A and B are shown apart, each in its own frame.
Chain A
């Protein structure tokens, strides 16, 4: 039987990096995610799998090291928290423009600005809509448990290479700092140079060895060609939307009211549903697991019997816009959330659910 461990979400990201055959981690410390690089340094994977761990001089340097590693077909990643992710914006756009795979973990904290170090979900817009300049999207995964922090590093690399696109794991200080049971149950070796040349040799810089050279760049001086590139990117995002939507529903089949929540808020809301059901209210929850692509169709389908939706997020209201876009304006959609690093309790959310949804529709 696999050993059950008690670990922090951040520590598990480090374990997952090494065990998922990651070739390089490049990062710069920032609370509340510094345990990721600390754990990697303690693990010393360069002595076992050969994985490189570098504390760069800045977040800007980290993301450009990721660009370099990704350009050579390697599994590379970085992590940071909100202000640090903002510093990576240019690099993320370049990675998406050059169609390079990588995993970026954002253990987000209260903002704006340097903000607080406590949990927040106010980087939703940034992650799903505007991680940098230009028409591009990250694929965004939102874990809500320590086990998913482990699993999504593996899934993140798979998606990144499948679509040659950066993947963000968008989590927060709560999931990053909490300890839960986790089983480190998946493991795979690093890719060999031969494997990379065989599978990614059509784009990766593997040493040209007789083939035509590859160029990795996001620069294009001919706008017609750049428009074509954008066509290709859009076709890719359409494929991502068609194939990669992930979500979880809980007690939605008979629900009159549905909470939409991701990440740590979905954990808090799971308790809210228990409280509401005890009082006889038919409340369910839809949890987006991928934030991009967003589970639009699944939400739309709930309109057949759901009277009102409450988007619960640790922000002033970001994901709620995607909920409204999904279900339209002919059904009640409201938002509730604490922010700035404050975390709503189950009873606060339950009160808001009654005030903003249930009592309005009675």
Chain B
């Protein structure tokens, strides 16, 4: 098993923490993991991305040029990373703010309207765990049990009161994800 994943969006969307939850879930499942962020000015609101690798073998390079899966959360990231999904790979995106939809025919494409759903529920902070849930529905690389453990490990103690809401958001995300049908 080897999954090379990029999560890309705006700084502040929880891109890095989504990656951390997933990486920690991999640790809980006894997999090898790496988490490599783009960092710096991105932390203050530009584009941010993180490469997460999960494998049952030791991970050689923590960076890659193309990915098994890309989770794309803004237009800039779509422009940059659509072409870097491996043939046969998976692209997941939130349609919010996307003006140019993906065109690749050789990959599986899914949409998840997590921005809208989180806003509808009045808690935009659950956005990233919804996306995570959608991803896990399509790519069940780690068990839900270990994702919940990873969630607990990666959230600081003071945020543990929000664990149940985040677990629920993962489940909502699993329901929310749709196969993309071009218009």
Contact = CB atoms under 8 A, between A and B. Distances in A.
B75 interface: no
Question: Chain B interface secondary structure, helix, strand, loop or mixed?
Answer: mixed
Most chain A CB within a 10 A radius of its CB, from B20, B40, B153: B40
A267 B64 contact: no
B144 interface: no
Nearest to B43: A31
A173 to B, nearest CB: 8
A345 B65 CA distance: 6
B54 to A, nearest CB: 11
A178 B40 contact: no
Contacts of A173: 39
Interface string B27-45: 1000011111101100000
B61 A174 contact: no
B146 to A, nearest CB: 13
A175 to B, nearest CB: 9
Interface stretch (A67-75, A218-226, A268-276): A268-276
Interface residues of A, number: 24
Most buried by B among A118, A181, A343, A345: A181
B148 interface: no
Interface string B48-62: 000000000001111
Contact of B23 (A174, A179, A343): A179
Contact of A4 (B27, B37, B40, B61): B27
B176 interface: no
B141 interface: no
**Interface footprint category on B:** 20 to 34
A32 interface: yes
A240 B154 CA distance: 42
A108 interface: no
A343 B153 CA distance: 30
A177 interface: yes
Contacts of A345: 61, 63-65
Most buried by A among B23, B60, B153: B60
A181 B153 CA distance: 13
Interface in A150-197: 173-174, 177-181
A117 B27 contact: no
A118 B41 CA distance: 11
A174 B40 contact: no
Contacts of A6: 20, 23-24, 27, 33, 35, 153-154
Interface string A1-24: 000101000000000000000000
A268 B23 contact: no
A343 B61 CA distance: 12
A274 B60 contact: yes
Nearest to A178: B36
Contacts of A174: 36, 62-63
7 contacts: A32-B39, A178-B34, A179-B23, A181-B32, A181-B33, A346-B61, A346-B63
Q: What are the 7 tightest A-B residue pairs by CB atom distance, in nearest-first order?
A: A270-B60, A271-B61, A179-B35, A345-B65, A271-B60, A268-B61, A178-B36
Given A174-B36, A268-B60, A269-B61, 18 more contacts: A4-B27, A6-B23, A6-B24, A6-B27, A31-B39, A117-B39, A177-B39, A178-B34, A178-B36, A179-B20, A179-B23, A179-B34, A179-B36, A180-B35, A180-B59, A267-B61, A345-B63, A348-B65
